[in-house]
Amino acid sequence: LPSAPGYVGTFDEPGIEVLKLYGVGETTAAAYTLVLHAALWLPITLLGAFYMVREGMGWSDFSKAVRVAEGEAKA
């Protein structure tokens, strides 16, 4: 399944539907799933941002790494 950044939709919708199958109300299921999604996504994202800053990296470094990797793959 194609997904948006952070797996928005592909994580939330199935989570809500499964909880509804177990008799949880739709608003409660949505709230729980959104909080769970944030709790799983936010810490690792903040940790990654921390290490990017710590290492002096920027977003442009990622595009450089991709170009280098693509060049090595062609060689």
pTM for this prediction? 0.69
**Is the Cβ–Cβ distance between 15 and 33 less than 8 Å?**
yes
CA Rg, the chain, in Å?
18
Q: How far is CA 32 from CA 9, 27, 51, in A?
A: 14, 9, 29
**Is the Cβ–Cβ distance between 11 and 46 less than 8 Å?**
no
Report the pLDDT value the prediction gives residue 75, as an integer from 0 to 100: 59
**Is the Cβ–Cβ distance between 10 and 1 less than 8 Å?**
yes
Report the pLDDT value the prediction gives residue 1, as an integer from 0 to 100: 64
Would you give per-residue pLDDT tens digits along the chain (75 residues)? 677 777 788 889 999 999 999 999 999 999 999 999 999 999 999 999 999 999 999 888 888 888 888 887 675
Report the pLDDT value the prediction gives residue 8, as an integer from 0 to 100: 80
Which amino acid does the sequence have at 26?
E
Domain chopping of the chain, boundaries: 5-74
